Amino acid sequence: MKLIVLCFLISLSSSGFTAERVSVDDVMKWIKTEPMLDPPVEGTVVKFGQMNTLRPWMVPGLFEEMLFPGTEIKIQETTEYQFHKSFVDATKRHAGESTIIADGALENYSAGQPFSHEQIMAANSNKAGYMVAWNRVNRWRHYGHKMSGGEILYLGAKSGDAPLDKDRGLNGGGSLDRALTGELQTAILSHLPMLKNQNYRMKGSDSKTTHYKEYFGFLAPHNVAGTKFVVERMLDPHADDQVNIYSPTERRVRRFSAKERADSFMGTNFTLDDIEGFSGRVLDYEWQFLGTKKVLAVSDSAHEGPQFFGPYSRVPQDRWQLRDCYVVEANSVWEGHPYQKRIMFIDAQTFNIATQLVVNREDQLWKVFLVTYKWRGSKDGTARNITESMPHTVMDVAIDLISNTATLAHMGLDLEFPVMNARKVRRVFSVSSLGEGK
C-alpha cells in the first residue's frame, strides 16, 4: 500500500499537479492516507525541490499553493499553549455536564470547554462532529477582541513583479486590486468562565439572550467609509442572528436577511460566516467527524505583522507547526447556500481553524481558508495574564481557486482584549447609534 502511495506522489509531482486540479476525492483520500514518512522536525527548512516531503501534512489545495520556485517552509517546535486559569478551572468544574441533543444543539453548558478529547473520540461520527463544532464556538476568548487600523486586501488573478507591496508584507508577485481599512470588536456576554460568581454572565446586558455581539466598521476608502455592521448571536442556537448594517450612501440602518449572510462580504472572498475560518451558526450545518490528522499550520508567527509571498502574494512566508487537528465535514442545511460543504481542520488544543476547504454546489473544491496566529505567552508556555493566554490573529486568508483571486484580512498590530461591561457594550454595539456622525 505504501509503495502505491509513493508512486502516486511521484506521479503528481512529475505531472505539475496544481490547485485547480485538486478534487474533493483527492482531499478525502488524503485525509484517510496514513503518512509513510517521518514528520518534519523542529528546525527543518523545506524548499521547493523538497516539498513532496511535506505533502502528507499540508492540506490539499493549500499544498499546491506552496509549489513555486523560491518557496521555503520553516518548521517550528509544536507548542502546547496554556489558557487562562479561569477557563481551565471552568472546564474541570463542569466536565461531563454538556450534552448534544437530537438536532445537534448544545444543552447544559455553563462555561469552559464543553467536551473532552475522550468524549469526542468515544462518540459516533455525527455527535462527535457537533462536539468539535461547539468546542470551536466556545473556545477561550476572554471578553473578545478589539482592533483598529486593520486592512482587507483584495488580490487579483494578474501576475506581477515582486515585491507586490513590501510595506503591507506582500513580498511575492500578483496584483493588489483594492484595500479597505477598518475596525472590529467582539464582545462576549455569556458563558464567561471568569464570571463564576455571576452565573458566567455579564451583568446589566443582554446576556440572558445573547452569546456575543460583533462590530465591523470601515474607515477607508471614501466610498465605503462609514459603513458599519452589528451582528448579534443569540444563545438559542435555533434563533437567527440579528445583523444590522448602516450604509452612508442610503443614510439608514437596515436588517440583513439570512440569505445575505451567504453573500460575498464587502466584495471579498469571505462571507459573513467565514470570519476567522468559521463564525457561523452550528445548526446551519450537519456535522460529521472524519477523524484526526496532523496538519501544518502557522500557529505562532515569527513576525509582528503579516508576511506573504508566492506568485500571488497569498501564502504565509512564515514558520509552521505540526498540529494535531480534528477533521470535520459540515454540510449546509440550506440548499440555497453557495457552499455545499466545508471540510475543516480544527486544532485539537486551541480549536483554532488551521485550514478549511469549501466545496461548491458543483462538487468542486472552491476555496481555501487559513488563519495565521501569533502567541504572545512567555517562553516557558505559562499564561501569566489574559494577553499571554490568547492566540493573536494575524491574518485571515481566503483563496478562491476557481477565480484565482484572494482576500487577506489583516487584524492590525494593536489587537486588544479589553475587559467589557454593560455600559461599554451599549456604547459600541447599539444599533440606534450606528449612523451617528454620518
Cα dist. 251→225, 236, 243, 248, 363 in Å? Answer: 12, 32, 17, 5, 40
Asked if the structure places residue 189 within a domain, the reply is no
Take residue 406 and report the three cell numbers written for it: 484572494
pLDDT score for 212: 97
Task: Cell 479597505: give the residue.
Answer: 180
Entry field: residues in the chain: 438
Q: Residue 343: inside a domain, yes or no?
A: yes
Residue 280 domain-assigned? Answer: yes
The C-alpha cell of 245 is what?
A: 448594517
Give domain status of residue 61, yes or no: yes
Domain with 61 in it: 1-138+150-177+267-409
- Contact at 8 Å (CB) between 354 and 346? yes
pLDDT at 383: 61
Q: What is the pLDDT of residue 14?
A: 35
Buried b / exposed e along 37-47 (16+ C-beta atoms within 10 A)? eeebeeeeebe
Strands 315-316 and 308-309: antiparallel
What is the model's pLDDT at position 380?
57
Give me the average pLDDT of each 10-residue run along the chain (438 residues): 37 39 94 93 96 97 96 95 91 98 98 98 98 97 92 95 96 97 96 97 94 95 94 95 91 84 93 90 97 97 93 97 98 94 97 96 97 79 72 94 96 86 93 69
β-bridge mates for residue 296, sequence order: 322
Inside any domain, residue 371: yes
User: Count of domains in the chain?
Assistant: 1
Q: What gap in Å lies between CA 382 and CA 193, rounded to an integer? A: 19
In a domain, 258, yes or no: no
Tell me which residue of 86, 30, 80, 29 sits closest to 54, measured CA to CA.
30
pLDDT of amino acid 2: 38
pLDDT for the residue 436 = 66
Q: Which three cell numbers stand for residue 79?
A: 507548542
247: in domain = no
Enclosing H/E stretch for 85: helix 85-93
Position 294 in a domain: yes
Q: What are the C-alpha distances in Å from 77 to residues 318, 321, 338, 352, 417?
A: 13, 6, 38, 18, 26
CA 124 distance to own-chain centroid: 25
Residues 6+ positions from 133 with CB-CB distance below 8 Å? 282, 285, 287, 328, 330
Chain centroid offset of residue 274 CA? 7
